[in-house]
Amino acid sequence: MQQLVDTEINELNVNLTKGVVIPTIAGINVSDIELTCSDGWVEFGLNATPEFFEGVQAAWGFWKREVDNINAGMFETTPYFAYGETLFLQ
């Protein structure tokens, strides 16, 4: 078992040294990220472009409007509806 884990971890580390492509998330490009792992903590850095800040601003505005609408009572909350044995939030 240990040999299998060691083999898989070594393969994973080789693949990760090539880099990982991070997709655009909600229109926000978060490429060129640097992570430095230390004992008990992780340091995070990225290059921020004007487009990054525009995407963050748009996302923040969306969530602010959603919270304002919820606080204004524009949405009714129904805890769950059942579909077979699966429960869904509404």
What DSSP assignment string belongs to 3-64? HHHHHHHHHHHHHHHT--PPPPBTTB---SEEEEEETTEEEEEE---HHHHHHHHHHHHHHH
| pLDDT of the residue at 64 | 92
pTM higher than the cut 0.85: no
pLDDT band at 88 (very low <50, low <70, confident <90, very high): low
Q: pLDDT of 21-78, one tens digit each? A: 777 766 666 667 777 888 888 888 877 778 778 888 888 998 899 889 888 887 766 6
pLDDT of 80 > 70? The answer is no
Judged by DSSP in three states, 74 sits in coil
